Structure 1
Amino acid sequence: MISVVVPTYNEEQNIERCLRSLADQTVPRKNYEIIVVDGNSKDRTRDLAEPLADQVFIQTSKRVGGARNDGAMAASGDIIATTDADCIIPRDWVERIERNFSAHDIVQLYGTVYPIEDGLRNRLSLLGANAFSRLGYYTRTIYFTLGCNTAFDREAFIRAGMYRCIDAGDDLEIAQRMRKLGKVHLDPGLKVGFSMRRYQQFGTIRSLWEWFYIVRSGGEAGDATYTKREYR
């Protein structure tokens, strides 16, 4: 079984769309479970998620990485897949994850993203991100594994120490530990629809600068924050 973990915080505008796309997969629903781990939302996120998920609960660990860790510990599957509440999941996503883990001896799998919102700037931004992801993978220098589109062998994930509970860069850092336990594999055809709302509301340059600054600071920076943003 595959366990899909979705961290949430004040996502009543997006959570149903995400979970409905997860429920409409090419594999039988009994082959995977959906776990929503909520950061104590102040809106109707949990109420909306309840009918569509197998488990919905409030996280006990810190940050987005901690929510994913809590979900992994509650999971029944031997593969842990993660995505975000503002993403749209293509119908073959779970099937491709199953196929990759069956065909390859891997401990982690990741894919690419495409923008949900229209616009040339959005497409170019993610085209650059996907190109960087491929370059890092094929040169074996850095694995740009986004938490919105990745999957782990559960046993190896726990053995590696799971995600660090930091403000930014946790999804990039985990791959450096996973690669010590086995192969980290990129499937460019494993895609998810990625929301550009952060970049549209706060600006692309500012958002990227905050991310790089926090990552360079070791994942925490007192004068900048990346998680639990309020969106219009």
Structure 2
Amino acid sequence: MISIIVPAYNEEKRIGRSLAALSNQTVPRDQYELIVVDGGSTDKTLKIAEDYADLTFIQESERVAGARNDGFLRASHDLVATTDADSIVASNWVEEAINSFSNSEVVLSFGPVTPIDKTNVDRRYALLFNGLIKLGAHSGLYYYTLGCNTAFRKNALLRAGMYRIMDAGDDLEIAVRMRKMGAVKFAPNMKVGFDFRRYHEFGFWKTLYEWYYIVLQGGISDKYSYTRRNYHQEPEWTDTEISGK
């Protein structure tokens, strides 16, 4: 029915909880496929993933967007969804993702985030994120479709060219192209727990500023390295762990 793609890189501390949540859904486990695309981890990420996933492999394309694309190409089902290796999906997430495509015109669906750590700071961060998500969804001016919580009709996604390989903004840019293929739907009950630790580490407003700067530069920039991490070796991918640990 649906294939779930999880990019991962050096996420041994968190990928287990993520995949456990994905494996315990309101939809029977044999009705969806779980694929983990590893970005060349040097820890036990891949070994842990093998205990849960139907398919694991080392990515061939570059960056987080490339890992998602590699997974889409190997997906067996007509619907595909993507989340992150440090995220924790709600127990009905798969069911809500499937139901969001009940209208045949829908080609992309996306949902809100909740903070994994229920601190006041992270609650405020989530409030801001969800405000941006809902504002875009209801106004139709843009679609804030986070990579941790987006689903697609596979045939439309492939025709659209999948994710563009870029430093930042690939998860927003894809929505622009998908909108030309059909309807984009906000699914309020399709919830994912989001880990804000990187925003604490690098500074929330600094991270947002660098992210928006890169997006406004067309998604590629040498000025900022974003989260200062490498993902799948070359090129240097600053948002390495936004896609998975």
1:40-79 alignment, distance < 5 Å: 40-79=40-79
Say whether 1:204 aligns with 2:216.
no
Give distance in 1, aligned partners of 2:45 and 2:61: 19
Q: Which moved more, 1:210-219 or 1:168-177?
A: 210-219
| Letter of the 1:40 counterpart | G
Cα displacement (A) at 1:79: 0.5
Give the structure-1-normalised TM-score: 0.96
Report how far residue 229 of structure 1 moved.
Answer: 5.3
Alignment of 1:61-210 (within 5 A): 61-103=61-103, 105-210=105-210
What is the deviation of 1:105?
2.6
Q: CA deviation at 1:203?
A: 1.0
Q: Is the 8 A contact 1:27 1:94 kept in 2?
A: yes
Match of 1:228 among 201, 223, 240: 240
Kept in 2: contact 1:96–1:190 (CA 8 A): yes
What's the CA shift for 1:104?
5.4
Instruction: Give, in whole Å, the separation in 1 of the partners of 2:240 and 2:111.
Output: 24
Tell which deviates more after alignment, 84-93 or 128-137: 128-137
1:52 is displaced (CA, Å) by: 0.4
Q: Could you report, residue by residue, the CA deviation over 1:162-198 in whole angstroms, capped at 9, with x for unpaired residues?
A: 0001111000000000000100000111110000111
Deviation string for 1:53-83 (max 9, x for gaps)? 0111111111111100000000001001000
> Paired residue for 2:235?
none
What secondary structure is seen at the aligned counterpart in 1 of 2:136?
Answer: helix
The letter for the 1-side match of 2:240 is K
Segments of structure 1 that go 5 or more residues without pairing to the other structure are none
Q: Which moved more, 1:37-46 or 1:118-127?
A: 118-127
Deviation at 1:51, TM superposition (A): 1.1
User: Mean alpha-carbon deviation: is it higher for 209-218 or for 152-161?
Assistant: 209-218
In the alignment, the residues of structure 1 paired with residue 65 and residue 240 of structure 2 have an alpha-carbon distance, to the nearest angstrom, of: 12
Cα contact 2:108–2:185 (8 A) shared by 1: yes
Identity %: 51
Distance 1:113 1:163 in 2: 21
For 2:99 and 2:25, locate their aligned partners in 1 and report how far apart those are by CA, in whole Å.
14
CA–CA separation in structure 2 for the residues paired with 1:115 and 1:126? 6
The equivalent residue for 1:8 is 8
Which ranges of structure 2 fall in alignment gaps of 5 or more residues? 227-238
Q: 2: distance between equivalents of 1:53 and 1:187?
A: 25
1:3 deviates by 0.3
Instruction: Give the corresponding residue for 2:25.
Output: 25
| 1:62 aligned partner, one-letter code | E
- Mapped partners of 2:70, 2:173: distance in 1: 18
Match of 2:233 in 1: none
For the Cα contact (< 8 Å) 2:8–2:241, is it kept in 1? no
Alpha-carbon distance, 1:102 to partner: 2.0
The AA in structure 2 aligned to 1:199 is: Y
Q: In 2, distance between residues paired with 1:59 and 1:50?
A: 15
Amino acid at match of 2:111: G
Q: Secondary structure at 1:46's aligned position in 2?
A: helix
Note closer, same or farther for the CA distance 1:37–1:229 as it changes in structure 2 (3 Å cut): closer
- After TM superposition, which residue ranges in structure 1, 4 or more long, deviate above 3 angstroms? 229-232
Note if contact 1:214-1:225 (Cα within 8 Å) is conserved in structure 2: no
Superposition RMSD on alpha carbons, in Å? 1.6
Q: Give the SS at the match of 2:76.
A: coil
